[in-house]
Chain A
Amino acid sequence: MKKRATMPKGALNLTASLVSILAGLLVGFILLMIFNFDKALYGFGNIVLTGLRTPDRVAKVLYTAAPLLMTGLSVGFAFKTGLFNIGASGQYTVGAVLALVGAILWQLPWYACILLGMIGGAVWGAIPGICKALFNVNEVITSIMFNWIGLFSANLFLYNSPRMLANAWGAINKDRTAALDKANPSAILPKLGMDKAMGSNYMNISIFIAIIAAFVMWYVLQKTTFGYELKACGYNRNASRYAGINDKRNIVLSMVIAGALSGLGGALYYLSGTGQFTMGKQLLSMGFNGIPIALLAASHPLGTILSALFIGYIQVGGEALQPEFAKEIIDIIIAAIIYLSAFSLLMRELILRGRSRRRQAEEEKSRQAADTVEE
């Protein structure tokens, strides 16, 4: 009778995530009905279907999903090793800017820029990691601070680097970085003809790079001694110390890798050639969306691929809500869906509890049946 409700872990996580997604969509639908009852069904249809309507939209989904996948991997990887990397946004920003520096100032090709982005993110992740390992400073606090430090350092740097800005390359704006097709076309990610095939400028290899990264992370965590050590530290730091694992080194390495993943995300997004880095006073949401993406996937690297595609999909769908719904409402709805998606942990617990209760009731019944037979 000691058996717990047995259900394969993967299937359980998947069910929990799907239930959360459905709940999120339902809340989104209710919100739509509150704001504009007549158009609610139409709007909801847009959220759910737009992403597959045209090849161009599919391309946009993949383009949005690539950086989300990277920040999701970053947060999930840190989770697996027992760290909460809330600094993905800062690492993403620093990675993006360093990649753009390589592209615009140094006129490097795209792969070198990607590498620079990873290095930028890695450095930004390493600092909270070092603080945690050496001085036991909580990584949540340091990495939140480093989000802001990263953002304003990037702004400060861009203000003082006129060559980086769009107006130096024949455009009029000076609040954003130069468009890559003018500044350095060789830094734009290869499109391999997919853009023509799908009729979309958004299509490039970024999603494939991100998916490869997800598989690499899965391999590292699942199959290597390094991943074994990282997970041991994450689950039980004392036991890993007892086993002679250098926990301090692993904390730093884990944050370095998480940072590099986020930095790669920033590089992929801005090297697509369709977006320009705009100096603003708000943290980039791409980094924070990595948190629900990781949660939705229960931090599993391969699951992260699916959850990033899903979040990318509804974001693109949300864009199609205009003009019937205000732009802010779209953000609220997406936020509600993401928020409820993050409940997948809770859902998992509820599913488990429901199953074990049912099982118990069945056992009870069969026992009673057996008892009556005996009598």
Chain B
Amino acid sequence: MSEYIIEMLNITKSFPGIKANDDITLRLRKGEIHALLGENGAGKSTLMSVLFGLYQPDSGTILKDGAPVKISSPNDANALHIGMVHQHFKLVEVFTVLDNIILGAEKTRWGVLRKDEARRRVVELSERYGLKVDPDARIEDISVGMQQRVEILKMLYRDNEILIFDEPTAVLTPQEIDELMEVMRGFAREGKSILFITHKLAEIMKVADRCTVLRKGRLIGTVDIADTSREKLSRMMVGRDISFNVEKKESAPGEKVLEVEGLTVPSRLHKKNAVKNVSFTVRRGEIVCLAGIEGNGQTEFVQALTGLEKAGSGSIRLKGREMTDMPIRERSRLGMSHIPEDRHKFGLVLDFTLEENLVLQRYWEEQFQHCGHILRRPVREYAQRLIEQYDVRSGQGAQTIVRSMSGGNQQKAIIAREMDKEADLLVAVQPTRGLDVGAIEYIHRQIVAQRDAGKAVLLVSLELDEVMDVSDRILVMYEGEIVGEFDPRKVSVQELGLYMAGAKRDDKKEAV
């Protein structure tokens, strides 16, 4: 029998205009945890989709236990005992946990479902691997972490031996991440083989045995984790050295810029309030970070702050001026810039050119228009300056249609536009979401530079590393309330995680 359970040899897969995988070879040993590392767009997901039968490779072969196999659909993959936990879970929200697990592999007699046996197996599996779930709970009622356990149980229920995890830690708290790592190690001990897709180096160092690195669709190499380091891996991934620590001086907070008092925002989804009685201030020269797990009211808070949604009650003051009910344009004029959470939905008009997007917040200014007629030349010159200054790369310069640009450069365009506004308050929501380490490093430096230039910065982030590295002060939001305030130098990630998960809270309500 072959040493490898799965071998993907010389896989090439092209899409119109782009080669997503170019001659990639990946060998998975039995019983190992094999990490697949790469920046966004490096081809990790394509490669895994080929293995899972979602895409057919243009060329290359896949061997299972040394014998060539053809995987033309997820059903084929399943028959070969290959299972996958997708980044966005594939669960039926209104079904119970048990129904979701057996879905597609139901046992029936005379066309009638036989759930008893299934239930016994699910309970047995969940106890054996420490994957606690309630088989009768509905998916919509359980936490994201538990939903992930359901996805894992789905693979186990189908006796899968090769388990693919696509960015499994993105949605978890630090405690849940630790638990997941333990579960993964348990699988490996039992002889199951794990492919672990991620761009978080720390997790790879912690749990993986070997790591395959992709860059721009090409294979860079496969290394043993025991012989490598974070720095080496990141150099393989990005192609140059990356500094992990955000260098910054001590903050020197000045006058108050943003004052939020008793802000309450109604939820669009249910009758309860999404943001409850939130109060805090942000001063000049400091970066305040609003941390929390997704869906705890941060989005609604930011929409009320920036004027995209109406606030329920409470007040927001910018430089002492009441702006709770101000139109968006006036907030912007008063001195607020906003790097939005969803750059495609809010931040950019994708079918506009780069220059049109760069003036999106100021096309109405005197310098860019005269009596409603847009002045092409000043717009072009301004765009060119920003493109140069912020190193925004694109195919046809200022006239590139933004849709054709890479995610990192699209984000850089937004950063350039919002930072160049010279506003007193910068609201940055998930500014590094989905970006590679090179771009993250750049954006963090820019945010710190804004702070050092005397701006007040409110950073909203789900990434704990970012929260710890960049901020001067951390506010944790849980279920719409601020449950704690911390100094990043005096708090541990674990401690923050407890607050984010709602396990702990400070009762001195008034964060200042």
Binding site for B on A (CB under 8 A): 1-5, 223-226, 228, 231-232, 235-236, 238-246, 353, 356-357, 359-360
Q: A161 → chain B, closest Cβ, in Å? A: 41
Contacts of A240 in B (CB 8 A): 349
**The residue from B17, B350, B374 contacting A1, defined by CB atoms under 8 A apart:** B17
Contacts of B372 in A (CB 8 A): 224-226
Given known A-B contacts A224-B372, A225-B364, A236 and B17 have beta carbons under 8 A apart: no
**A238 x B346 contact (CB < 8 A):** yes
Q: Bound state CA distance, A223 and B395, in angstroms?
A: 24
Q: A100 → chain B, closest Cβ, in Å? A: 34
**B369 x A236 contact (CB < 8 A):** no
Stretch at the interface among B193-201, B310-318, B327-335, B455-463: B327-335
Given known A-B contacts A4-B404, A244-B329, A235 and B351 have beta carbons under 8 A apart: yes
Contacts of A225 in B (CB 8 A): 363-364, 369, 372-374
Q: Does B377 contact A (CB under 8 A)?
A: no
Q: A371 → chain B, closest Cβ, in Å? A: 11
**A236 x B348 contact (CB < 8 A):** yes
Q: Bound state CA distance, A262 and B351, in angstroms?
A: 27
Q: A340 → chain B, closest Cβ, in Å? A: 25
Q: Does B49 contact A (CB under 8 A)?
A: no
Q: B291 → chain A, closest Cβ, in Å? A: 23
Q: Bound state CA distance, A2 and B41, in angstroms?
A: 11
Question: Which residue of chain B has the shortest Cβ distance to A2 in the bound complex?
Answer: B18
**A235 x B327 contact (CB < 8 A):** no
Given known A-B contacts A223-B374, A225-B374, A2 and B17 have beta carbons under 8 A apart: yes
Q: Bound state CA distance, A169 and B18, in angstroms?
A: 71
Q: Bound state CA distance, A246 and B330, in angstroms?
A: 12
Contacts of B338 in A (CB 8 A): 242
Q: Bound state CA distance, A233 and B497, in angstroms?
A: 40
Q: Bound state CA distance, A230 and B451, in angstroms?
A: 35
**A356 x B17 contact (CB < 8 A):** yes
Given known A-B contacts A235-B350, A236-B350, A243 and B361 have beta carbons under 8 A apart: yes
**B16 x A4 contact (CB < 8 A):** yes
Contacts of A241 in B (CB 8 A): 308, 328, 346
Q: Bound state CA distance, A121 and B345, in angstroms?
A: 34
Q: A358 → chain B, closest Cβ, in Å? A: 11
Give the size of the chain B interface in residues (CB under 8 angstroms): 34
Question: Which residue of chain A has the shortest Cβ distance to B329 in the bound complex?
Answer: A244
**B363 x A228 contact (CB < 8 A):** yes
Q: Does B356 contact A (CB under 8 A)?
A: yes
Q: Bound state CA distance, A357 and B327, in angstroms?
A: 48
Given known A-B contacts A4-B17, A236-B350, A239-B347, A224 and B373 have beta carbons under 8 A apart: yes
Contacts of A228 in B (CB 8 A): 356, 363, 374
Q: Does B14 contact A (CB under 8 A)?
A: yes
Contacts of A359 in B (CB 8 A): 17
Question: Which residue of chain B has the shortest Cβ distance to A222 in the bound complex?
Answer: B374
Q: Bound state CA distance, A357 and B363, in angstroms?
A: 39
Question: Which residue of chain A has the shortest Cβ distance to B343 in the bound complex?
Answer: A239
Q: Does B19 contact A (CB under 8 A)?
A: yes
Within 8 A of A (CB), among B346-374: 346-352, 356, 360-361, 363-364, 369, 372-374
Contacts of A245 in B (CB 8 A): 329
- Chosen A-B contacts, 26 in total, with CB atoms closer than 8 Å, are A2-B18, A3-B17, A4-B16, A225-B372, A225-B373, A225-B374, A228-B356, A238-B345, A238-B346, A239-B346, A239-B347, A239-B349, A239-B360, A240-B349, A241-B328, A241-B346, A242-B328, A242-B340, A243-B360, A243-B361, A244-B327, A244-B328, A353-B16, A356-B16, A359-B17, A360-B17
**The residue from B19, B346, B356 contacting A242, defined by CB atoms under 8 A apart:** B346
Q: Bound state CA distance, A242 and B303, in angstroms?
A: 10
Q: Bound state CA distance, A235 and B348, in angstroms?
A: 10
Given known A-B contacts A224-B372, A225-B372, A360 and B16 have beta carbons under 8 A apart: yes
Question: Which residue of chain A has the shortest Cβ distance to B379 in the bound complex?
Answer: A228
Most buried by B among A5, A226, A240, A243: A243
Q: Bound state CA distance, A234 and B273, in angstroms?
A: 32
**B308 x A242 contact (CB < 8 A):** yes
Contacts of B374 in A (CB 8 A): 223-225, 228
Most buried by B among A3, A228, A242, A359: A242
Contacts of A246 in B (CB 8 A): 327
**A232 x B360 contact (CB < 8 A):** yes
Contacts of B340 in A (CB 8 A): 242
Q: B186 → chain A, closest Cβ, in Å? A: 41
Instruction: Digitize B299-322: 1 where CB-to-A-CB distance is under 8 Å, 0 elsewhere.
Output: 000000010100000000000000
Most buried by A among B331, B349, B372: B349
Q: B145 → chain A, closest Cβ, in Å? A: 30
Contacts of A231 in B (CB 8 A): 349, 352
Q: A287 → chain B, closest Cβ, in Å? A: 27
Q: Bound state CA distance, A224 and B375, in angstroms?
A: 9
Q: Bound state CA distance, A4 and B405, in angstroms?
A: 11
Contacts of B345 in A (CB 8 A): 236, 238-239
Most buried by B among A224, A228, A246, A357: A228
Q: Bound state CA distance, A238 and B341, in angstroms?
A: 12
Contacts of B328 in A (CB 8 A): 241-244
Most buried by B among A224, A238, A357: A238
Q: Bound state CA distance, A318 and B473, in angstroms?
A: 76
Contacts of B351 in A (CB 8 A): 235-236
**A244 x B363 contact (CB < 8 A):** no
Within 8 A of A (CB), among B1-33: 14, 16-19
Question: Which residue of chain A has the shortest Cβ distance to B417 in the bound complex?
Answer: A243
Q: Bound state CA distance, A241 and B351, in angstroms?
A: 16
Question: Which residue of chain A has the shortest Cβ distance to B357 in the bound complex?
Answer: A239
**B348 x A223 contact (CB < 8 A):** no
Q: Bound state CA distance, A5 and B18, in angstroms?
A: 11
Question: Which residue of chain B has the shortest Cβ distance to A245 in the bound complex?
Answer: B329
**The residue from A1, A232, A353 contacting B19, defined by CB atoms under 8 A apart:** A1
Q: Bound state CA distance, A1 and B216, in angstroms?
A: 10
**B308 x A244 contact (CB < 8 A):** no
Q: Bound state CA distance, A211 and B105, in angstroms?
A: 65
Q: Bound state CA distance, A359 and B16, in angstroms?
A: 9
Closest 10 CB pairs of A and B: A244-B329, A244-B328, A242-B346, A4-B17, A356-B16, A235-B351, A243-B360, A236-B349, A235-B349, A224-B372
Given known A-B contacts A1-B19, A3-B17, A4-B404, A242 and B347 have beta carbons under 8 A apart: yes
Contacts of A360 in B (CB 8 A): 14, 16-17
Q: B407 → chain A, closest Cβ, in Å? A: 13
Q: B427 → chain A, closest Cβ, in Å? A: 12
**A244 x B332 contact (CB < 8 A):** yes
Q: A219 → chain B, closest Cβ, in Å? A: 9
Question: Which residue of chain B has the shortest Cβ distance to A1 in the bound complex?
Answer: B19
Contacts of A3 in B (CB 8 A): 17, 395
Q: B404 → chain A, closest Cβ, in Å? A: 7
**B17 x A239 contact (CB < 8 A):** no
Contacts of A223 in B (CB 8 A): 373-374
Instruction: Digitize B402-427: 1 where CB-to-A-CB distance is under 8 Å, 0 elsewhere.
Output: 00100000000000000000000000
Q: A37 → chain B, closest Cβ, in Å? A: 43
